[in-house]
Structure formats: C-alpha cells, structure tokens
Structure 1
Amino acid sequence: MQQTNRLKPFFENINFEREDNTMVVNFGPQHPSAHGQMRLILELQGEEIVKSRPHIGYLHRGMEKMGENMIYNEFLPTTDRMDYIAATSNNYGYALAVEKLLGIEAPRRAEIIRTMLIELNRIISHLFWLATHALDVGAMSVFLYAFREREFALDLIEDYCGARLTHSAVRIGGVPLDLPDNWCEDLEKYLDILAIEIPKYEGLLTDNRIWRMRLENVGVIDNETAKSWGCTGPILRATGQKWDLRKEMPYGIYPELDFDVPIATAGDSFARYQVHMQEMRESSKILRQLVPMYKASPSQLMANEPQYISATKEDIMTQNYALMQHFVLVTQGMRPPRGEVYVATESPKGELGFMIVSDGSPYAYKMKLRAPSFWHTSILEEVLVGHQLADVVTIIGNLNVVFGEIDR
C-alpha cells in the first residue's frame, strides 16, 4: 500500500486520453503502387486520414542537370529512364523539342514510325497500369492476363529496336531504322488479339462487386481541383474535361488521324479506370490507320540537315566529308541557334513537356522537364484526406505515378 502511494503522483502525470486522438504514421519510404521510392506522412483519426503529406526525392538522379551536361544526342537515351514504362514517349518529346530548337522536321515516314511506336507504348503503359493496379486491389487474374498482352507488345518493340524497356527508338531528326519485314502484319495480328482481350479484362472487373466497392467514390477529383493542381491526361479527362494535346495542340502526324478523346464525369478511381480502358481502344484505332500511311510513305528516315544530323551510314562509309561531319557531331555535338523552346506532348500519363534554353553551345544552357507524375503525386496532399488507410494504395496505384520522372 505504501508503494502504491509513492507511484500515484507518477501515474497522475500520464495523459492516457488525447482530445484529438490522432496518430502520425509513415507510409514508406517504399513503393507500393508508386514504382519508385515515396514516403507519405499520414495523420490518422482512427482509420481515417485527416492529413497527408507526400515526401519525394529518394530516387533523385538530377536528370535536368544531366541534360545540361551532356550533348543533345547523348542525353536522348537518358530520357528513357524517366517514365521507363513508356520510354519512347520520353524519347519523342525530347527529340521534338530539340527539332523545334533547330528549326527542322522529321521526314514523313519517320514521323509515322514514331507515332506507331508511341501509340504502341501507350497501350503497353496502360496494360502495365491495369495489371499492377488490379493486383494492388487484390485481382490476381487480371494481372497475369494484362501482362501477357503487354509481353506481346514488347515483342513488337524489340523486333524494331532490340530493347524491351528502355527503347531509345527515336533520334533527333527522325528514326534510326525502318520497320522490319512483316512488322505491320504482326502489329495487325496483335491488335486483333487485343480487341478480344480488352472486353475480357472488363468482364472480370467492370461489374465486379469488390472492384467497384474499392474504386467507386474513392479518390474523387473534381474538374476545378484537377486543374488547380495541374493534373493532365486520364486524370483530367476522368473529370469531364476533354483535353488531349494530340487534339488541342496537334503535332506530328496526329492532325491526319481520326480518333476520339475518351472522357468520364465522376472523377473517381472507377472513372479513371474507364478512361484508361477506352484509350487502349483509341490507340488501336490510330495504329490501324498508320499501317496504310506507312506503306504509302517515302523511304527517308532522317532529316537532311548536315549541320545538325549525321548522313546515312552508306554515305559515312563511302564519302570522306560525311565521315568527318559524323565524327564532329558525335564527339563535339551539334550547336543549335540561341533560343528558348517549350514543347509538350501527350504521354500516357498526361502532359510531358521539355523546356530547353540554348546559348549556341553543344550543351543546353538550361533544361526543365514538366513530368505529369510530379503533379499527380502532389494532389495526394488533398485527395487522400477523408479516406480510410486501406484506400491509400488503391488511390496511389490508380493515379499511375512513376517516380523516375518525379525525382528528376
């Protein structure tokens, strides 16, 4: 009894109940759904999130500074490592920005091949998103089926450039290779298979009670919120905003193509799922239109600009001046005129922009990259609030962020 009295003042100073009753937890650093290292600091009221703060930078590689310390052609393969799920889209966006700086255009056949590759890459990216997102929510079968079709698409990419993940399939001024024999026929066979398989994915998911419970009214982003946070791509289009750079600010061969811009209106995770599924169908439609356009196009693959672009391999091997010019371009780099450009393209995740400032040297004086995943991670600060802890992985996976283009 005497010992109890001695301990009584100690226990009186302990506060067992807090008025707010919140708990701060670290979600990460790890990469569930995020394809890279992210840390979320979550403040919880029981299971409900009352505050969210994303922390990034664990994967930082200084991509923009690398672009300022490499000659223009040397930096192009590095862009593969940004959104490595859609490497060709990064190659293309960067090449287009440099071409605008140089004042040159790629030949028609090269532009058609580029568009084939980036639309095939869009399908690959969306299949990867569907597979991993479904797995995060607990749907194992869809993961296996979607990865199967993704592998077939990667076979086509590999047939063209020899790589499956980081493609480096585009060059400043055009493309390095023509399409292999029978590539277009293989592409059409693949599109026929995909047209059969996409409805099967939807059959497994769209009316699945668990899938709808986990996605409907979860991660709702209205149109004004999406625009204020700088969201683009499927996230913005799922809020009812019909905005696609291929239509609104057309580039390349897109003005000649007939395709629709899928939208949804609910703005939740299920709406974004619907937009992704329909976009795969629209990319298939684009690819089918490109096949006859390719067959009717002239054979030139690279722009004829000796000041900036190397001659063909045949000329380099047979003409002394072409060999010397190639040597200078490879070792010292091209020298674009002074100026500043910003070029934005519609990557699978949204607006991908490259801003380049040139001072006339072989290196960019300043390079800035506008990567969609950066903005889509920022909105987690707002969109997670009010949801349950179990919804966090669902929302991150549904927003489709890749940290290679965030921690740049």
Structure 2
Amino acid sequence: MEKRQVQYQYDENHLVNSSKNFYNKENLRTEEMVLNIGPHHPATHGVLRVEVLTDGEYVVDVTPHLGYLHRCFEKHAENLNFQQIIPYIDRMDYVASMNSEHIYAMGVEKMLGITDKIPKRVEYIRVLCAELNRIASHFIAVSTYVLDTGATTPFLWMMRDREHILRLFEWVSGARMLYNYIWVGGLYYDLPVGFEEKCLEFITYLKPKLEEFRTMVINNKIFVERTANVGVLPLSTALDYATSGPVLRGSGLAHDLRRVDGYSVYPELDFDIPVGKGIMGSVGDCWDRTYVRVEECFESIKIVEQCVQKLTKDHKRDRTFDPQEFVPKKIRPKAMDYYARAEGPKGELGFFMRTNGKSDIPERLKARSCCFCNLSVLPELGKGNLLSDLIVIMGSIDIIMGEVDR
C-alpha cells in the first residue's frame, strides 16, 4: 500500500494540513482522554472511583463509580433484631457513629411509641455525645479538605484536637470509633463520674483553637483563592438532587432537621443555623460549604455547654438512675412501614423500616444515605472546571464511602 505523505506547516493559531487542510479553525477536533481517579487515591476520601473525561486540563464529564466498600448493612439488618443492628450502623459513617446511633434509636422509639418514656438525662447525654461527634466529623472533613488544597499543618492541628473527643468517647463507651453506646430506649451506661467537668475543660481549650483555625486558614488568601467561586452549587440544583446538610446550607438555605423537626431536646437549646452567604465568592461555592462546617463547630460547642449545664444542674446524676430502665427486652412492633430521619453531620440520615408484626427482626431496613445523595451532584459541579478544581470540589462534598456503599 502506498504510503500517504502529508506535510504540515505551523500557523500562528493552529496546525494546518497543507494537503487537505484538515486541521483548520472550523473543524478542529479536541483530544479527549479518560482518567480514573481512585478507587485508591488520596483525593477521593475513600474507595471511590471517579471516571473523568478530560479535554486537556478541563473536565468534560464526571461519572462516580461506587461499590468498592460494601458494608452490606441492609442485608445484615434482615437477619438481626433491632438492638443487634446498632453495631452495624456504627460502621456506615464510621467518623460519626454517635450521630447515626442516635438517629436510629430515635426512629425505632418513635415507631414503638415510647419516645415520651425516655428520661431527660438520657436525652441530654445523647445530644451531648452527638454534638461532640459532629465536631469530630467536621474536623475530619475540614482538615482533609485543607490538605487537598495544599496545606499540611492545619490537618495536624485538627487531628490533635479531634483526639481529645475520641478519648472522651473511649472513656464513656470503651471504644474509640465504633461505640454501640446509644441503645433503643436508653444508653449502655451513664456518663462516667467527672465526664461533664472534663468535657467543659475540653470546650474551654477548643474555643481559641477553633478561632485560630478560622482566622489563619478559612480566611487565608491562598485558601480563599483556591475555593471561592469554584464548584458553585445553585440552590435550585441542590434541591433537585436532594442534597442536605452543609452542602445544602452552603447554597443559602437554612434547612436543619434539628430545627425543622425539633426532635429530642433540641427545641430547648439555643443555637443558630449557619448558611452560605457568598462572603468570599458566590453563594454555594466550595468556600461557603467549608465556612458552614466551621461555623457549625462553634454552634455545636454552644449546644455542648448547654447540655453540660442541664446535666449538672437540672438533671443531675442519681444513684437510682438506670439508663437501661426503658430498654425493651424484645422489640416486636406492629406490622407497618415507617420512616424516621434526623440531622447528621453530613445531612439527612433516614431509616425506612418494614415490620410484619410477628418477628423482632425487620423484613426490610433501608438507610437513606445523605452522603449518597450529596455525591450524586458531583457530575453537575465538575463539568467545565479544571481537573485540579475537581479535587477541591470532591473534598467540599464530604462523603464517607461506608455510608455510600451501605
């Protein structure tokens, strides 16, 4: 076969085929390439594979691929009774186990109609632990996110301070991360003697540290330029994709189930709902989502202080107090379909339960994962951005793959 000889000449703007004029300004073809980020990659924050179609440095399309960390939670739940399910809930969002336990326990209690029987001391202990865990979860989200943007020291700061919370949880439950502490109808144990004082001591230590982090990192010129006006999520799009938590509030909507549903003792507590305001860029950008998480840490500190005050003055420790007094010996609800939801650190976590009225094992227990819904908006946020900005966008969503692959 005769070899086709093609000669090229270089033009100012593009390469021109001198024989056929194939590469001209009108029909210049892009060179697209498929890149796989993950599943084992520090930028994916877990075993997530992101298939990225790129045109040079620009992202044309993004497709998240799941299923690399199957927890099999929902299948396990079909073979366990309601109390035995709690340790498996810990393993979904493993950096916010207390919150997940709290949400599940409240859901089953509402289904059984025993919410009014739960002692106030139990409720305040639950909220105290949930808000401490909210701070610890946001510390993971924000510190690893700052690491994504190129700063190392703030990550070490926040991991140091998060360790104090883990030690408090280890003291109260015996475990560092997977607690099995909040039970349906009560708690495993009351708080250890001196826990309230240690908790206040930690909060007093944490306040100036968090102020320092806000000043030196969140308002840092380099961090602002890296995250402001990047990954802007309009409120209408956030609602279309059923996002929740800081991802939704970062787009300007003050939707928090602690206020909207008013569950547990949250209506008795004073706290604000931070939202994105476009202070450094556009409303709903990566900076706003980070800003909301940091501000929520300050609000959680306020809640923890109020809970400790209630536990030391209004609902004091009593030798006759039994945190397991109202824990049902056997949970066998009527045949029904029931859905319960509450506000986790990453958004709305819900549980759909189907029971047949004959067994203490649910026929179906489906978890409505906030991480799964928030991750679904990634293709909308990623298109048209630089590849380096895609890493920043992924980190701003704050996902835990144990909950996504539930």
Q: Structure 2 length as normaliser, TM-score? A: 0.89
| Residue 97 of structure 1, CA deviation | 1.3
Asked whether 1:338 is paired with 2:339, we answer: no
Give the Cα separation in 1 of the matches to 2:44 and 2:5.
Answer: 49
Give the Cα separation in 1 of the matches to 2:325 and 2:192.
Answer: 23
Give the Cα separation in 2 of the matches to 1:374 and 1:195.
Answer: 32
Contact 1:133 / 1:394 at 8 angstroms: preserved in 2? Answer: yes
Aligned to 2:396: 398
Secondary structure, counterpart of 1:72 in structure 2? coil
What residue identity is the alignment partner of 1:254?
Answer: Y
Secondary structure, counterpart of 1:73 in structure 2? coil
Aligned to 1:23: 33
| Residue 10 of structure 1, CA deviation | 11
Aligned to 2:87: 77
Aligned to 2:236: 224
Aligned to 1:256: 268
| Residue 258 of structure 1, CA deviation | 0.7
| Residue 31 of structure 1, CA deviation | 4.2
| Residue 29 of structure 1, CA deviation | 2.0
Aligned to 1:352: 349
Secondary structure, counterpart of 2:213 in structure 1? helix
Give the Cα separation in 2 of the matches to 1:304 and 1:131.
Answer: 40
What residue identity is the alignment partner of 1:387?
Answer: N
Asked whether 1:275 is paired with 2:292, we answer: yes
| Residue 34 of structure 1, CA deviation | 3.7
Aligned to 2:365: 367
Q: Structure 1 length as normaliser, TM-score? A: 0.88
Give the Cα separation in 2 of the matches to 1:171 and 1:364.
Answer: 17
What residue identity is the alignment partner of 2:342?
Answer: T
What residue identity is the alignment partner of 1:179?
Answer: L
Give the Cα separation in 1 of the matches to 2:48 and 2:80.
Answer: 28
Give the Cα separation in 1 of the matches to 2:219 and 2:274.
Answer: 20
Alignment of 1:53-72 (within 5 A): 53-72=63-82
Aligned to 1:214: 226
Instruction: Tell me the C-alpha RMSD between the 2 structures.
Output: 2.1
Give the Cα separation in 2 of the matches to 1:297 and 1:199.
Answer: 31
Aligned to 1:379: 377
Give the Cα separation in 2 of the matches to 1:34 and 1:249.
Answer: 33
| Residue 20 of structure 1, CA deviation | 3.4
More moved, 156-165 vs 98-107:
98-107
Aligned to 1:287: 304
Give the Cα separation in 2 of the matches to 1:393 and 1:353.
Answer: 28
What residue identity is the alignment partner of 1:292?
Answer: Q
What residue identity is the alignment partner of 1:240?
Answer: G
Contact 1:223 / 1:241 at 8 angstroms: preserved in 2? Answer: yes
| Residue 21 of structure 1, CA deviation | 2.4
Which structure has more RCO (C-alpha within 8 Å, separation ≥ 6)? Answer: 1
Secondary structure, counterpart of 1:376 in structure 2? helix
In the alignment, structure 2 segments of 5+ residues that lack a partner are 8-18, 278-282
| Residue 18 of structure 1, CA deviation | 6.8
Contact 2:186 / 2:325 at 8 angstroms: preserved in 1? Answer: no
| Residue 50 of structure 1, CA deviation | 1.2
Aligned to 1:117: 129
Q: Percent identity?
A: 37
Which consecutive segments of 4 or more residues in structure 1 shift more than 4 A?
9-12, 15-18
Q: 1:45 to 1:372 in 2, by over 3 A?
A: same
**1 or 2, which has the higher helix percentage?**
1
Equivalent of 1:297 in 308, 312, 315: 315
Deviations 1:362-393 (A, max 9, x none): 11111111111001111111100011111122
| Residue 304 of structure 1, CA deviation | 4.5
More moved, 286-295 vs 117-126:
286-295
Contact 1:238 / 1:263 at 8 angstroms: preserved in 2? Answer: yes
Secondary structure, counterpart of 2:275 in structure 1? coil
Alignment of 1:142-157 (within 5 A): 142-157=154-169
Secondary structure, counterpart of 2:340 in structure 1? strand
Aligned to 1:326: none
| Residue 335 of structure 1, CA deviation | 1.7
Deviations 1:123-168 (A, max 9, x none): 0001111111111111111001111110011111111011111111
User: How many equivalent residue pairs?
Assistant: 379
| Residue 250 of structure 1, CA deviation | 0.8
Aligned to 1:38: 48
Give the Cα separation in 1 of the matches to 2:340 and 2:291.
Answer: 28
Give the Cα separation in 2 of the matches to 1:207 and 1:261.
Answer: 20
| Residue 96 of structure 1, CA deviation | 1.2
Equivalent of 2:62 in 33, 52, 58: 52
| Residue 91 of structure 1, CA deviation | 0.8
